[in-house]
Chain A
Amino acid sequence: MKLLAIGLDVVAIGLGIMAVVYTMHAQTRSEAQPWMDVEFPRDSPVLAVSTAFGPSAVHPRGASMAIDLHASLLLRNTGNKTISGLTLRIEAQDLTPSGKASVTVPSLAVPPGEVFPVRVDAQLVRPFSVGRAEGALVQVSLDCALFGDLTAYGPDKLNSRRALMVYELEARRDRRYMATLLKDKDWARVREELDFGLQDLHPQQIGLELLHDPRANTWREQAVNVAAVTFPKAPVQPLSGAARVAGNEVHAPAIQIKNMSQKTVQIVDMGWIVLDDRGREFIAGSIPAALNLAPVAIGTMTEGGTLRFSHPEGSPMMIGALKAFVSDVEFADGKLWIPSRTDIDEATTDPLLRRALATSPEQQRLAEIYRRKGITGLVEELRKLN
């Protein structure tokens, strides 16, 4: 035992020395070779005016090194169209090709020639044993820029164009809705929609893990039905669904849907609501699936992965039930459908669920403007954008 303890001490000291030496060596190299690099194509409608790298601390973490990366980019719209949204792709050498990340800024409305900021805050943890190839450890590049006319630029490797389109359509819907409320001087509803100008200090928080584990555990599993939340005018309606639930894990959720429209549906983005064992509802998110569903045809959407839920403090969140709703639909002609505010109001009588369904990035942004600048600031912003 004593020898083992001495051995462990020696290993710990060795790792510590390795960490210090590697850190010093890495910091020396970082002068010539930056941790993070930002690149835009020459014909890009967006170019970096300035790139300020914050203090990128490097510190050992066990047998790995953790690198904190902070970059503040000031970008200029160098094209001739208004930019509505932008997605930057973040790739790390050590995770390529399996893992990637992105930073999206929707609801921008940046006219040609104007500048706007984007921040990238990341942390890369890599084992000491892994060597470093040439170039920056983390590469930031443009994945997609969406313009005001809903055209786009960029390689779109992360399917960002579709997401940016949905955000933009939601933003236009919410601006129109808020403008109508202001025009009708429905101040009570405006305040209610915008959180009464209060900061949401306790937003919905759940812990999520998304796994594609072929060895998924099937013991304790039980089948549960998936209830449908329907938008009356949606072109695609959920009919019935089922999933296998094991404690805090949802396996292979599947839902049968019907194309109610006369157009072929290419992609359906299905939203999922999770009810915990106390009956509280949480919007888990949405998962788009390519279907190619002919008019009035019936199809099934199935997800092969496993979703694992936990409470913010880390304890498992036991799944009581599941609900599904059609979040958006993309037709074969490239057009998108999103639920209108009327659709959302008619979908449920539960005010909390209605609120959750209506919350969009633009709604969040307008609430922040209302909180900071009041009704005058909100009116000014909507006048500028509409």
Chain B
Amino acid sequence: MRDNGPDMTHPSAPILALFSSGDLPWKTMWRLKRHVNRCEQCEQHGAEYRAAKAELRREAQSESLTAFEAIADWSVLEREMLGNIAVGVAAARCVDKVRRGRSWLIKASLATALTTLFVAGWITHIPREQTEHLAASLRQIIGLDRPVYLGTQLKNTPDGIAVRAQGATLTIMHPRSAVVLVSGPSSMSARYVDEDTGQVTITKVYAQ
């Protein structure tokens, strides 16, 4: 029998547990092994630890895999991670559809606001004549109107009567009170009273 002399210092329970599972450094293991061989009490405690550990392992094997044990099983972990990723991607797609719908709504609202601003700005800033000229050009481009006649042309504007020929235009200016009339097969006239001189003035343009 091995004696348990009073001079022997027993290892603590955690150290003894680590010794029984073989988890101590080799020098400590060798020193404790010498003690346990001579100390019946410590040997008994070590045997109890080993028995408890074996019992725990048996119970664990009979139950389902715990998260801790799954980590040890990489194939299972891989499948689980891929599954989680697939679920995440599917969820992201669902969210993206909602976001994309909202994005179109925002873009449409922005475009509408900008269009409204543009139209309002155009109406308030661009002269009507230019708008009509642009509209006429567009109508000609899409074939709704005839092309503008490019020969000699006579036309009145609010500020004068004009003759256009060879790419140039000569306008004889008159006040807005002038009365514009046709004055011949190829001439147009404007009649008004000159505010400075009080004289009646008749301007004419001719296409010859």
In the complex, the answer to whether A364 meets B207 with C-beta atoms within 8 Å is no
Closest to A63 in B: B167
Total count of chain A residues near the partner, CB < 8 A = 72
In the complex, the answer to whether A208 meets B168 with C-beta atoms within 8 Å is no
In the complex, the answer to whether B177 meets A101 with C-beta atoms within 8 Å is no
In the complex, the answer to whether A208 meets B200 with C-beta atoms within 8 Å is no
Is A232 at the interface (CB under 8 A from chain B)?
no
In the complex, the answer to whether A207 meets B205 with C-beta atoms within 8 Å is no
In the complex, the answer to whether B182 meets A97 with C-beta atoms within 8 Å is no
- A93 vs B186: C-alpha distance when bound (angstroms): 19
Choose among B152, B168, B201 the residue that contacts A103 (Cβ–Cβ < 8 A): B201
In the complex, the answer to whether A209 meets B168 with C-beta atoms within 8 Å is no
Is A284 at the interface (CB under 8 A from chain B)?
yes
Closest to B195 in A: A368
- A110 vs B173: C-alpha distance when bound (angstroms): 25
- A130 vs B179: C-alpha distance when bound (angstroms): 33
> What distance in Å separates the Cβ of A249 from its nearest Cβ neighbour in chain B?
11
- A289 vs B180: C-alpha distance when bound (angstroms): 20
> What distance in Å separates the Cβ of A65 from its nearest Cβ neighbour in chain B?
10
A contact residues around B128 at 8 Å (CB)? 313-314
Is B31 at the interface (CB under 8 A from chain A)?
no
Is B208 at the interface (CB under 8 A from chain A)?
yes
Closest to A124 in B: B170
- A311 vs B91: C-alpha distance when bound (angstroms): 64
Majority secondary structure of chain B interface residues (helix, strand, loop or mixed): strand
Binary CB contact string for chain B from 179 to 208 against chain A (1 if under 8 A, 0 otherwise): 111111111110101101111111111111
B contact residues around A288 at 8 Å (CB)? 184-185
In the complex, the answer to whether B168 meets A365 with C-beta atoms within 8 Å is no
Closest to A284 in B: B182
- Known contacts: A102-B203, A126-B168, A361-B202. The answer to whether A209 contacts B182 by CB under 8 A is no
In the complex, the answer to whether B181 meets A99 with C-beta atoms within 8 Å is no
In the complex, the answer to whether B200 meets A107 with C-beta atoms within 8 Å is yes
For chain B, the bracket of interface size reads 35 or more
In the complex, the answer to whether A209 meets B154 with C-beta atoms within 8 Å is yes
Is B46 at the interface (CB under 8 A from chain A)?
no
- Known contacts: A95-B170, A130-B167. The answer to whether A210 contacts B186 by CB under 8 A is yes
In the complex, the answer to whether B177 meets A95 with C-beta atoms within 8 Å is no
- Known contacts: A200-B177, A361-B191. The answer to whether A98 contacts B205 by CB under 8 A is no
In the complex, the answer to whether B183 meets A95 with C-beta atoms within 8 Å is no
Closest to A104 in B: B202
- A212 vs B104: C-alpha distance when bound (angstroms): 53
- A368 vs B191: C-alpha distance when bound (angstroms): 13
Is B163 at the interface (CB under 8 A from chain A)?
yes
Interface 9-residue window, one of A24-32, A114-122, A180-188 = A114-122
In the complex, the answer to whether A284 meets B181 with C-beta atoms within 8 Å is yes
Choose among B166, B178, B198 the residue that contacts A98 (Cβ–Cβ < 8 A): B166
Choose among A100, A213, A307, A368 the residue that contacts B182 (Cβ–Cβ < 8 A): A307
- A44 vs B205: C-alpha distance when bound (angstroms): 24
Choose among A99, A106, A217, A368 the residue that contacts B164 (Cβ–Cβ < 8 A): A99
A contact residues around B191 at 8 Å (CB)? 361, 364
- A372 vs B156: C-alpha distance when bound (angstroms): 29
Closest to A206 in B: B180
In the complex, the answer to whether B193 meets A204 with C-beta atoms within 8 Å is no
> What distance in Å separates the Cβ of A214 from its nearest Cβ neighbour in chain B?
9
List 5 A-B pairs, minimum CB-CB distance, nearest first.
A285-B182, A285-B181, A94-B168, A98-B165, A99-B163
Interface residues of A (CB under 8 A from B): 64, 90, 92, 94-95, 97-108, 116-117, 119-127, 130, 138, 158-159, 163, 167, 199-201, 203-213, 215, 217, 272, 283-289, 303-305, 307, 312-314, 361-362, 364-365, 368-369, 372
Given contacts A210-B187, A287-B185, 15 further A-B contacts (CB under 8 A): A94-B170, A99-B152, A100-B205, A102-B203, A103-B203, A104-B203, A105-B200, A106-B200, A116-B199, A210-B155, A212-B151, A285-B181, A285-B182, A361-B191, A368-B198
